Every structure is written in C-alpha cells, then in structure tokens.
C-alpha cells in the first residue's frame, strides 16, 4: 500500500540515488520495480541487536554511504534508531511509539485521537512539530542538482496546512447493518477503540510524501513481475497440465509457456475457463481466516457453475489450511504447497488470474496492483485501514456487536465475525466480478461429475 508514495518520491526526486532498507522476505515483493536504485536487507530477527555483528555491519555500511535523508514508512522504533545510528542527516517520519526524539523532522499523525476522548468520534491532535524551517537541507552533490533547498512548507507550523486531510469517517456506535448482511467498501461501520482512528494506509503514507514536497499521490497501487518469475509459474502450469481452454485435450497448451496472454482483468474469450486463485491464509492471525471447509465448498461451486480452474496458495506455515481445503473438496482443485510459491511467483500467478478470493491479507493488494478483481473476506479488522477507491473489489463482512476488534485471536472464542459469513455470500460477490462472458455459461463449461476427484499439486 506504500507504492503510490514510493512512486511520488521517485518522480519528485528522479535524479536522487534512492536506497531501500527492507525485510528479507520483501525482496521478492519489490523486485521488478523502479522506485529505488538499490535495496539493502534488514538482518534476520535474531541478528537485530546492537550486540550482533550483522547489525553493527549494517550500521557502519549505512554510515559509510553518508545518506542525506531517511524517510521512514514503518512506525517502528528500531527503524528510527537504525537511521540515527547510521548518522543520516535528516530523519523524517511520524512522531509516535516513543521515537520522536530520534527524528529531526517529525510528521504529525492527524488521525491520533485526543486523550480522554470517550466518544466514537475522531478529533485530530497534532504533536508539536520539530523546529527546522524546512525539510530541504543544503546537501552535497549529487543531490544538490535534483533536490532544491526548500521542498516543503515550514515545519514551524502544524502540517494541517500542508497535508490536506482525506476523509476520515466518524465511526458510529450500534448495529448499523442487519446481522449477516454483506457490506461493501465505503460503508460506515462501527469504529474500534484505540489511540488512532481508522485511516487508509495509502493516505497515511501519502502524508509523508506531501511533507517532503511531493504532490499528493493517489491510491493507485502498482507492482511488477520479472521474466524469471513469469517463466517459473508458466513451467508449473505446464507441468501440472493446467488447461485454460474448455474441452481441450490433456496435452494442449494455451500458449508456448502454458499460459494465456490476454490477462489481466479483461473479459475472457468464450472458450476459456476462468482462473480463480484462493489465498485462505492470513499472517496476522487465525481470527482473520475463513474456514477451510467453506473455501472448499466455494471452490466446488465455482468449478461446477462457472467451469473455473481453482488454484489454492498459501504462505509458509499455512500449509495445513490448504491441505484441509484439499480434504474437503469434491471437485478438481490445484494446491500450491509443494513447493510453496515465492512472493514473486505469487505476484505472477495473481497477475494472470480472472479472480482472487482471499482473507484480509497481503495478496488482496496484489490484485489491486494488477487490476485483477478480488473478493476479500473481512472478520476482526476494520476495512477503513486498507480502503482504496479500487472498483473491482467486493468486501464481504458481517456487522456484529463486538467488532471490528482488531485482535489476532477472538477474545470471546466464537469468531462470529467469520463464522457468520456464508458460502452464498462469498459466491454472490464472486458472480459480480467473474467476467460476463464466462459467468452464467454453466452448460458449456460445467465439468462432468468426478466422484473420485482428488486435489492435485501445482
């Protein structure tokens, strides 16, 4: 969700040398993008202490490079400490989580609730900004030619004048929606308590871009795939004999690499079966996961009624969820667990599908970045945190008295926010998004009964 801000920074400072410091598992995610000139990996978790040589080597490497600015997108204390130890001249980020003293330029959090605010309304409270008159320092070459000395409004006044607020909804109390009624993005729902009111993360990151002099970015996300990633997924399709053409012989291929070439997002030709990807996991916690048995029932329905090819994928540690889906399906399905897809391969897979069905997790944003329709199943999390203007998404959720609680596991043990979401609800949303040339053509595309059908590995 940071990619609109990354694009704004790259465009504004086109001649600057931009370096990312990123988690090792995010290298595949950003690979192929041109937002940066190089990427340096964070040490693994066990090596992130100042007492560990790997961490000290990273600090000295950054000091040696003599960076002029550090723009901190994460809220973590450790990211602020790292750039302070690295001697970066200007350290720009949100003043929160006890790290304000590590910043030279503190950007206020406009969605912070006031202390003692007992209502569900939202009041903006701005921390006292840091005193430098400008975020644009006099910097040595090569940045002096591309970074003017004054890039942003004065930080001697609150950023309310320079960071135009996007709409922050005033949450309401009570049950606004009837129980078990699916709702869509943009609907007003009860707000969860906490120090910060729900604010879309694309806007949260955009405030940082505006603070350093960039035009305010929109919310159009972007990702890229590499030729190697696309070829790798193509080989797996070919090896598993994944056929996109209805009634095609088992040894036929849609294109030379086993994949069709008219993706994503467009209407499928009359003789092509829709490719539906399911991502049933969620790194955040079990409370965000819809039941595997319901994913299995949805998969059967998509195969029977729409002739879909269903591929189920997951991340590390979520293999048991995929196996449970495989144990409960009655129709053909492909399981991506041996081996697991890398993030880069997952991007390539999502980019070429007609529909993604997932919980509120990272793959959802892959679909948005590649303009692929997506059905997102929401449970304990507030949709406003990740809201965008993307029109090809359907959010399915129910309104219950205890939600959205933002908890990794259900504090009450019933997980009603997820168990109340039925297969019918999610299937209805899928029908809205499946290409019109395929949805409703059941007689032509429905497969013959497979009483002994077994899930296949992809």
Q: What are the tens digits of pLDDT across the range 13-57?
A: 999 999 999 888 888 888 899 999 999 998 888 887 878 899 999
pLDDT tens per residue across span 260-284: 333 333 434 445 789 999 999 876 6
At 245, the pLDDT band (50, 70, 90 cuts) reads low
Range name among 36-45, 152-161, 292-301, 323-332 with the lowest pLDDT average: 152-161
Is pLDDT above 80 for 138? no
Is pLDDT above 80 for 428? yes
Q: Do 205 and 265 reside in the same domain of the chain?
A: no
pLDDT at 166: 43
At 447, the pLDDT band (50, 70, 90 cuts) reads very low
pLDDT at 294: 94
At 228, the pLDDT band (50, 70, 90 cuts) reads very high
| Residue 352 · residue 260 · CB < 8 Å | yes
What is the percent of the chain with per-residue pLDDT over 70, rounded to a whole number?
67
pLDDT at 25: 82
The answer to whether residue 191 is domain-embedded is no
Q: Do 204 and 320 reside in the same domain of the chain?
A: no
Mean pLDDT of 148-177: 34
The answer to whether residue 399 is domain-embedded is yes
Nearest partner of 428 among 278, 298, 291, 272, judged by Cα? 298
From 211, 235, 251, give the residue that closes a domain. Answer: 211
CA atoms in the 13 A half-sphere facing the CB of 342: 17
Is pLDDT above 90 for 212? yes
pLDDT at 394: 93
What is the percent of the chain with per-residue pLDDT over 90, rounded to a whole number?
40
DSSP string, 107-128: EP-TTBPPTT--SSS-----PP
At 458, the pLDDT band (50, 70, 90 cuts) reads low
pLDDT at 439: 43
| Average pLDDT in the chain | 74
Q: Do 62 and 147 reside in the same domain of the chain?
A: yes
Q: Do 205 and 263 reside in the same domain of the chain?
A: no
Neighbours of 410 (CB within 10 A): 20
The answer to whether residue 221 is domain-embedded is no
The answer to whether residue 185 is domain-embedded is no
Is pLDDT above 70 for 362? yes
Chain-centre distance for alpha carbon 286: 18
Range name among 137-146, 196-205, 405-414 with the lowest pLDDT average: 137-146
The angle formed by the CA atoms of residues 454, 456 and 458, to the nearest 5 degrees, is: 170
The answer to whether residue 337 is domain-embedded is yes
Nearest partner of 356 among 306, 387, 418, 313, judged by Cα? 313
The answer to whether residue 190 is domain-embedded is no
Q: Do 171 and 240 reside in the same domain of the chain?
A: no
DSSP string, 299-323: HHHHHHHH--EEEEE--TT-HHHHH
Q: Do 203 and 240 reside in the same domain of the chain?
A: no
Is pLDDT above 60 for 116? no
Q: Do 262 and 312 reside in the same domain of the chain?
A: yes
The answer to whether residue 28 is domain-embedded is yes
Q: Do 163 and 236 reside in the same domain of the chain?
A: no
| Residue 354 · residue 274 · CB < 8 Å | yes
Q: Do 291 and 396 reside in the same domain of the chain?
A: yes
Q: Do 305 and 414 reside in the same domain of the chain?
A: yes
Q: Do 205 and 252 reside in the same domain of the chain?
A: no
Count up the domains in the chain and report the number: 2
Q: Do 316 and 249 reside in the same domain of the chain?
A: yes
The residue range of the domain holding 442 is 227-457
Give the chain's radius of gyration (CA, Å): 24
pLDDT at 284: 65
Is pLDDT above 90 for 430? yes
| Residue 274 · residue 299 · CB < 8 Å | no
pLDDT at 414: 67
CATH of the domain at 92: 3.40.50.2000
At 243, the pLDDT band (50, 70, 90 cuts) reads low
């Amino acid at each position: 969700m940071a990619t609109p801000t990354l694009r704004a920074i790259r465009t504004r400072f086109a001649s600057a040398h931009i370096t990312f410091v990123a988690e090792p598992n995010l290298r595949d995610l950003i690979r192929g993008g041109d937002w940066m000139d190089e990427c340096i990996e964070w040490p693994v978790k066990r090596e992130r202490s100042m007492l560990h040589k790997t961490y000290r080597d990273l600090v000295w490497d950054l000091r040696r490079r003599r960076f002029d600015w550090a723009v901190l997108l994460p809220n973590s204390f450790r990211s602020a400490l790292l750039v302070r130890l690295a001697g970066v001249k200007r350290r720009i980020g949100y003043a929160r989580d006890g790290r304000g003293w590590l910043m030279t330029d503190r950007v206020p959090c406009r969605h912070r609730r006031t202390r003692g605010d007992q209502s569900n309304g939202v009041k903006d409270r701005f921390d006292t900004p840091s005193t430098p008159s400008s975020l644009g320092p006099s910097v040595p070459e090569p940045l002096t030619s591309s970074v003017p000395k004054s890039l942003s409004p004065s930080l001697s006044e609150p950023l309310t004048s320079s960071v135009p607020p996007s709409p922050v909804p005033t949450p309401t109390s009570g049950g606004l929606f009837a129980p078990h009624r699916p709702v869509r993005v943009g609907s007003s729902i009860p707000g969860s308590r906490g120090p910060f009111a729900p604010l879309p993360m694309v806007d949260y990151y955009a405030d940082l871009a505006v603070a350093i002099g960039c035009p305010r970015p929109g919310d159009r996300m972007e990702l890229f795939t590499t030729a190697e990633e696309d070829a790798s997924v193509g080989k797996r399709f070919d090896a598993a004999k994944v056929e996109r053409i209805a009634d095609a012989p088992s040894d036929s291929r849609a294109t030379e690499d086993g994949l069709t070439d008219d993706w994503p997002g467009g209407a499928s030709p009359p003789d092509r079966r829709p490719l539906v990807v399911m991502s049933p996991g969620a790194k955040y916690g079990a409370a965000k996961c819809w039941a595997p048995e319901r994913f299995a029932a949805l998969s059967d329905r998509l195969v029977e009624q729409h002739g879909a090819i269903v591929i189920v994928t997951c991340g590390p540690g979520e293999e048991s969820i995929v196996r449970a889906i495989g144990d409960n399906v009655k129709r053909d399905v492909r399981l991506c667990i041996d081996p697991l897809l890398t993030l880069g391969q997952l991007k390539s897979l999502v980019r070429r599908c007609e529909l993604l069905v997932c919980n509120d997790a990272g793959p959802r944003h892959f679909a948005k970045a590649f303009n692929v329709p997506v059905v997102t199943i929401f449970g304990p999390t507030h949709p406003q945190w990740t809201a965008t203007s993307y029109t090809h998404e359907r959010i399915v959720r129910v309104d219950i008295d205890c939600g959205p609680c933002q908890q990794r596991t259900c504090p009450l043990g019933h997980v009603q926010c997820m168990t109340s979401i039925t297969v019918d609800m999610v299937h209805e949303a899928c029908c809205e998004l499946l290409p019109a040339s395929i949805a409703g053509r059941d007689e032509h595309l429905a497969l013959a009964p497979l009483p002994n059908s077994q899930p296949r590995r992809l």
